[in-house]
């Protein structure tokens, strides 16, 4: 994946890097058990996400199914790549990472690509094998 940098995005990556994560029980909401939060969880061993995971989060795109009702009463359905984190990040209030953006990070880290990861090193190794969006679609 290409590097992303610039003053604004670098500040966002710094904030993401300071978020905490833990490996919790596997649930429907956390299929890999990877949980993310602003404050250290005293009841669960946790660590900070760190720079490499933060950089990956701001560069991650997933395919999303979009459904729209058109004015003529018909429905339009299509898929499009979106950056889950940046799409949910509150750009007006950048001091903290908002709840929706944290949920998007959980979605990314609980993607099937990261299944079986049990520590940061394993997540970082899996990040290296993520194909770029254009490569995934043979462009």
Q: How many distinct structural domains can be found in the chain? A: 1
pLDDT at 64 (0 to 100): 85
Distance from C-alpha of 113 to C-alpha of 80, rounded to nearest angstrom? 19
On whether residue 76 sits in a domain, the answer given is yes
Query: Quick one: pLDDT band at residue 5, thresholds 50, 70, 90?
Result: low
Domain of residue 123, residue span: 7-131
How are beta strands 20-23 and 75-82 bridged, if at all? unpaired
Do residues 108 and 37 touch, judged by C-beta distance below 8 A? no
HSE at residue 37, side-chain half, CA atoms within 13 A, is 14
| 47-87 pLDDT, tens digit each | 899 999 999 999 998 888 899 999 999 999 999 989 989 88
Q: Which residue has the higher pLDDT, 123 or 137?
A: 123
Q: Per the domain annotation, does 136 fall within a domain?
A: no
d(CA 126, CA 3): 17
pLDDT for 95 beyond 90: no
> Tell me, what's the pLDDT at 133?
61
Interval 84-103 mean pLDDT? 82
Does residue 90 lie within any of the structural domains?
Answer: yes
Angstrom CA distances, 4 to 9, 15, 46, 53, stand at: 7, 15, 27, 13
* In-domain check, residue 39: yes
pLDDT for residue 29 is more than 60: yes
Q: Is 131 helix (H, G, I), strand (E, B) or coil?
A: coil
Give a yes or no: residue 1 inside a domain: no
Q: How confident is the model at residue 93 (pLDDT cuts 50, 70, 90)?
A: low
């Amino acid at each position: 994946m290409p590097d992303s940098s610039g003053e604004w995005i670098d500040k966002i990556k710094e904030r993401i890097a300071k978020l905490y994560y833990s490996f919790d029980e596997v649930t429907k909401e956390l299929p890999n058990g990877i949980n993310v939060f602003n404050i250290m969880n005293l009841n669960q061993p946790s660590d900070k996400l760190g720079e490499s995971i933060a950089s990956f989060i701001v560069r991650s795109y997933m395919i999303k199914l979009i459904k729209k009702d058109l004015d003529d009463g018909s429905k339009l359905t299509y898929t499009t790549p979106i950056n889950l984190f940046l799409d949910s990040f509150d750009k007006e209030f950048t001091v903290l990472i908002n709840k929706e953006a944290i949920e998007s990070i959980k979605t990314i880290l609980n993607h099937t690509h990261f299944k079986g990861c049990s520590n940061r090193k394993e997540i970082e190794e899996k990040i290296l094998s993520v194909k770029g969006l254009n490569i995934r679609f043979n462009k």
